[in-house]
A and B are shown apart, each in its own frame.
Chain A
Amino acid sequence: MITHHLNDKLLMAYSAGSLPEAFNLVVATHISICDECRARLASFDAIGGALLDQDDSAEMGAQSLSTVMARIKTAGPVAKEKPQTRDAVLPAPLVAAIGGGLDKVQWRAVGGGVRQAILKTSDKATARLLHIPGGVAVPDHGHQGLELTLVLQGAFRDEDGRFGRGDIEIASEEVEHTPVAEPGMDCICLAATDAPLKFRSILPRLAQPFLRI
């Protein structure tokens, strides 16, 4: 049961198509497993539809329709969309971003038993997968920008409650939190941020440029 959802800002920006790629990936992944937010997104898309429908002030070119009809007549059959794949943990948008399932993730140790894999996105924001052994705390950190953390397996707890599979934590600048993975199953999260995290202890701060976290 998902209890932590996307907010309206993120849904509207995703619907409008203006989020950085890393955030788009988190939103698409959350919606893949959250019917509530999928339905909310439909209502934000409907705003886009209503806005589109309102303004007919532009004129199409004189030959526009005949050009389009000619293209339709000469176009080949609609290409079959590639079948989507997912695995037990990773929804389809993540499998596409990684180029495979969980076994294809290139993990790197970042200390304390925590591993991460940075995903390739535009440089406006960073997306990474985190693998946190059960019972382990992620270093205490505050934020400069926005950080989204989506749980894919296991669960973590912090000052804002418990986050299990599908739950998304939206942490803005004010938030300083200490997420701890629940004992038991390792916790796998997709995290995205539009600013480097600042760790409060000196050692991780020194390591930050190398770890890209």
Chain B
Amino acid sequence: MVQEKRPFWAVMAGLNSVSRKTTAATSDTDWGDMLRRVAQTQDSEAFAALFAHFGPRVKGYLMKSGADAASAEECAQDVMVTVWRKADQFNPARASAATWIFTIARNRRIDMLRRDKRPEPEDLPWGPEAEPDQEDAMALQQESEQLAAALQELPEAQRSMIERAYFNDLSHSEIADATGLPLGTIKSRIRLALERLRHSLN
């Protein structure tokens, strides 16, 4: 982390004077590990780094969805408060940090824009996991990066359809069935975890 030797308050003060590109750590920062630090030791520096990276992204997501800048700012703050408070629920073997924060932001967006209620599926009895499996977490991280790269390389029309689906409430009938994205790898990984869980319950 670039901020490691600076006191926390100095990092905060610097956030707006230094361009985000230099404050926001390097591209291979392990955001899952930052979340773990927040969960385990209430690490304010790790949180400041998460905030610098994800705060603007969450705000941008809300603005693209139709929120004005002030509401988007307020809701992005709410999302980041939730990130701190629920950091202990993050499991790097089941989702990337970006995916986990996306689900929090999506739920806040539904409230903010008064979209239709979205009940969650039943929780699974995962139980207290001592330590998420490191190999699973690393593999999932890689697969998430591959997905992000594949998204960048999609033909414009395809990519635009997907963006509109996530940002602009494209209706289910307007969504194309094939995404052109390598979704199978992440699906298979989660499927294996579910099989292990079902097995352990029997």
Residues of A within 8 A of B (CB): 7-10, 12-21, 23-25, 28-29, 31-33, 35-36, 38-62, 64-69, 71-72, 75, 78, 84, 86, 91-93, 96-97, 121-122, 124, 146
- A17 close to B109 (CB less than 8 A): yes
B175 touches A (CB below 8 Å): yes
With A24-B118, A35-B198, A75-B85 as given contacts, are A49 and B177 in contact (CB-CB < 8 Å)? no
Given A18-B171, A72-B85, also A47-B162 (CB < 8 A): yes
Tell me the bound Cα distance from A113 to B26 in angstroms: 65
Instruction: Return 11 A-B CB contacts under 8 Å, by A number.
Output: A12-B165, A23-B172, A35-B195, A38-B190, A39-B188, A42-B186, A45-B95, A46-B147, A47-B162, A50-B151, A65-B51
Cβ of B63 under 8 Å from chain A: yes
Of the listed residues A16, A41, A45, A59, the one surrounded by the most CB atoms of chain B closer than 10 A to its CB is: A16
Q: How many A-B residue pairs have CB under 8 A?
A: 237
Contact between chains at A43 and B190 (CB < 8 Å): yes
Beyond A24-B119, A78-B86, 14 extra complex contacts between A and B, CB < 8 Å:
A17-B110, A18-B172, A24-B116, A38-B124, A46-B186, A50-B147, A50-B151, A58-B69, A59-B59, A60-B73, A65-B12, A65-B51, A91-B121, A91-B122
Main secondary structure, interface of A, reads helix
CB distance from B80 to the nearest CB of A (A): 5
Do A42 and B118 touch (CB < 8 A)?
no
Residues B73 and A78 in contact, CB atoms below 8 Å apart: no
Nearest B residue to A53 via CB reads B98
Interface status of B36 (Cβ within 8 A of chain A) = no
Residue of A25, A60, A66 with most partner-chain B CB within 10 A:
A60
> Which residue, A10, A20, A64, has most C-beta atoms of chain B within 10 A?
A64
Complex Cα gap A36–B73 (Å): 37
CB distance from A169 to the nearest CB of B (A): 15
Inter-subunit contact B118/A14 (CB<8 Å)? yes
Which of B53, B59, B118 has most A Cβ within 10 Å?
B118
Query: Is A93 a contact partner of B148 (Cβ separation < 8 A)?
Result: no
Q: SS class of chain B's interface: helix, strand, loop or mixed? A: helix
Query: B116 near A19 (CB under 8 angstroms)?
Result: yes
Beta-carbon contact of A56 and B115 below 8 Å: no
B34 to chain A, nearest CB (A): 14
Which B residues from 39 to 62 make CB contacts under 8 A with A?
44, 47-48, 51-61
Q: How far is the CA of A46 from the CA of B147 in the complex (A)?
A: 8
CB of A42 within 8 A of CB of B101, answer no
Known: A8-B175, A24-B119, A56-B57. A64 touches B147 (CB 8 A): no
- Please give me the residue from chain B that is nearest to A55 by CB atom: B60
Tell whether B142 is near chain A: CB-to-CB under 8 Å.
no
Which residue, A12, A55, A78, has most C-beta atoms of chain B within 10 A?
A12
Asked whether, in the complex, the Cβ of A8 is within 8 Å of the Cβ of B81, the reply is: no
Across the A-B interface, the 4 shortest Cβ-Cβ residue pairs: A49-B99, A58-B60, A32-B122, A49-B98
Report yes or no: A52 in contact with B61, Cβ–Cβ below 8 A: yes
B179 close to A8 (CB less than 8 A)? yes
Assuming A39-B190, A84-B123, A92-B123, is B195 touching A59 (CB within 8 A)? no
Contact of A46 among B95, B109, B115, B176 (CB under 8 A): B95
